[in-house]
Structure 1
């Protein structure tokens, strides 16, 4: 493992992006976040926690990132470990975990929503709606995400705790309180983390905020396949505290 940092000051937010061979999509997110005026206005840093990419992921974002941590061990790093490593170097009071294939609705509306609805409240963590990229959206995408976003909203409303790893906003004190992500989980780590945080504080589901993800996994595996993976891993975590998937397949 090696890490290099360009920043060491007290900050309000740390944006942590776990990556693995994301040279195609990561620049879209980084280009949104790297505006120096926005970074100063909202007081945030950008942390890349890379799992050992063999493409040009690091090369493409090195000038726009504040901290880059790279996994160099032979054993593959899972995404739970990647997020934990990124959090270890974070200077912010609030951790914002965003996947590398995500596009925000805009940095200003994203942070304005945080400032108005989360940052200065009692909530321990926050998640939001997820849809696929607008330019690639199909009817099946609209139907699936409408159902699942409402389902996740209900889970948080009733205190179960659920936040997809595509975007999880967590106060660092609560992240540390539960010892972060369970590094033994190869899948379902996002559900497990929010489930544990919900025992200590309330979780806000931001139904008026939406981020956008690549539909690549849905296109390759299909919605039935993805749903089955989510369900079987969630059930296994609830009853056995472990995920059934031995490895989360890369889809690039």
Structure 2
């Protein structure tokens, strides 16, 4: 009788200034998964941390044989850090989660049970507004999901998180995607497959504060929407056509006023009209310019991230744990 081979789980965790959370998170994940019959590895991706996060990762990788780290050369952003970890994961299933303990590790067991029942992707979304978030974070999050659902063909539940499970076949497809600015929440939804969303309530951060300010969150939201959808271009085209039609309808009024001698002279209305349409034109050009800029950056074919160091080794062009 051939003994059954244990399935392997790869857990990818991006980190940025999380030095006080690393050891605690590893302990919590071990406590959850040691009671299962899976092999598992933890792949931490240090996204240009400015504190002692990298040293903590190196120290814990020496304590635990299944803990690996990837050090990026600078801060490339969370999605690229996730992509770096996912690209090196070798598990039958890959789970991504944050390092701040707001994603409850005990939910991993629930996600795995759905995976064993033939679901290819199990993602999570906040059941209610994050009780631990600041007011501007809640407002920005709400604006983001309304915007992405209105301006793209995919629909994301409000509060969709980066706490998700993906089968190996989904991960293999993600590894082939090479976009300059990648929006993983949208891309994973776009891939299709058999998906299930499950609600969760975020826990309080173990230590530290969220690093995103209001303007950073707003910038991230706008960038994600424009990265994943071309619908803003269609919207501004519609606005342009609408005002062009209104301008054409205005011509008969001007001609009749001139013939009847009722034309009203004045500069206020002219200045207001010029200012309005000038601002509209700048808005349209700005949106078009953003898309052209993205095409330009994509055409450079630069890598999405640069790895400075890792305790993974390269064998036959594949990275494996050592």
The normalised TM-score by structure 2 is: 0.53
- 2:217 — aligned with what? 226
Q: Match for 1:50 among 38, 46, 51?
A: 46
- 2:81 — aligned with what? 82
Q: 1:46-78 CA distances to partner (integer Å, 9 max, x unpaired)? A: 1112234342213334234724233354x5444
Contact 2:137–2:217 under 8 Å retained in 1: no
Contact 1:133–1:213 under 8 Å retained in 2: no
Query: What runs of 5+ residues in structure 1 fail to find an aligned partner?
Result: 1-8, 244-252
Number of residue pairs matched? 220
- The answer on 1:204 being equivalent to 2:201 is no
Note the 1:1-252 alignment, pairs <5 A.
11-35=7-31, 38-39=33-34, 41=36, 43=38, 44-61=40-57, 62=60, 63-64=63-64, 66-71=66-71, 73=73, 76-105=75-104, 107-108=105-106, 110-116=107-113, 118-130=114-126, 136=132, 160=154, 162=156, 164=160, 166-179=162-175, 182=178, 184-185=180-181, 189-198=183-192, 201-207=193-199, 209-212=200-203, 214=205, 216-217=210-211, 220-221=213-214, 226-227=217-218, 229-239=220-230, 240=291
User: 1:94: Cα distance to partner?
Assistant: 1.1
- For residues 40 and 46 of structure 1, do their structure 2 counterparts lie closer, same or farther at Cα, with a shift above 3 Å needed? farther
Larger helix percent: 2
The normalised TM-score by structure 1 is: 0.65
Q: 1:174-231 CA distances to partner (integer Å, 9 max, x unpaired)? A: 121243664521xx62233224322xx1321102x3344656256x327xx7356314
Aligned equivalents of 1:93 and 1:129: distance in 2? 23
Aligned equivalents of 1:29 and 1:149: distance in 2? 28
Larger strand percent: 1
- For residues 149 and 34 of structure 1, do their structure 2 counterparts lie closer, same or farther at Cα, with a shift above 3 Å needed? farther
Contact 2:122–2:164 under 8 Å retained in 1: yes
**Which entry has the higher C-alpha Rg, 1 or 2?**
2
Aligned equivalents of 2:85 and 2:42: distance in 1? 10
- For residues 30 and 103 of structure 1, do their structure 2 counterparts lie closer, same or farther at Cα, with a shift above 3 Å needed? farther
User: 1:160: Cα distance to partner?
Assistant: 2.3
C-alpha root-mean-square deviation of aligned residues, in Å? 4.2
Contact 1:96–1:167 under 8 Å retained in 2: yes
